[in-house]
Amino acid sequence: MERTARELILGMIRRQAPTGVSVVIEGAPGVGKTFLAGEILASIPPGQAKVLRAAGQQGRRNDPFTVASQLLGDLARDTDPADATFDHVDELCADGPVVLCADDAHHLDAASLMLLRRLVWASRSLPLAVLVTTWPGPPREPLAMLIRQAQARLWLPPRSGSPRWSAKG
């Protein structure tokens, strides 16, 4: 599974492909999704791609546009965060491959999840890799829509010795 995710993202960078990829990694809490995403990002050769990071935080699901504020900082009041973020990523893609990692998406607000969906859609025509990590199970509708839209959906199995888990659905 790690190799698949790494090959999808690094393959886009190595080929200097005009189109990108979107990958969702699901796994139980504490199974190593954040570690795996970090390993994938660390394997990107220096200067080969611009790496952007955002992360959901427990208890902050109602903070609108968390992803936009993490990527852009404070914006002017009259600026649409989604448009500004999309334009920023689009401009970065004009200079070469971009990898956006959104960790713990299950903690992100609905506006951020919709923004990520827009970026996943854009990855089909931009050199953009979108890597999303999340918990399995019955997600909220904006997260479920993001997961369905991704080109690849991978499950990180429990580590040996880890408690068993299951997702209803």
pLDDT at 166 over 80: no
Cα 150 to its chain centre, rounded Å, is 10
Average pLDDT over residues 88-101: 96
- Quote the pLDDT of residue 137: 74
Rounded distance between C-alpha atoms, residue 99 and residue 136, angstroms: 23
Residue 165: pLDDT band with limits 50, 70, 90: very low
Write down the pTM of the prediction: 0.89
pLDDT at 95 over 60: yes
Average pLDDT over residues 129-139: 87
Residue ranges with strand state E in the chain: 21-27, 50-55, 98-103, 128-134, 152-156
3-state secondary structure of 160: coil
pLDDT at 28 over 70: yes
Please report the domains of the chain, with CATH numbers, ordered by start residue. 2-156 (3.40.50.300)
What is the percentage of the chain residues whose pLDDT exceeds 90?
A: 69
pLDDT at 164 over 60: no
pLDDT at 169 over 90: no
3-state secondary structure of 152: strand
- Quote the pLDDT of residue 160: 61
- Quote the pLDDT of residue 66: 92
pLDDT at 109 over 60: yes
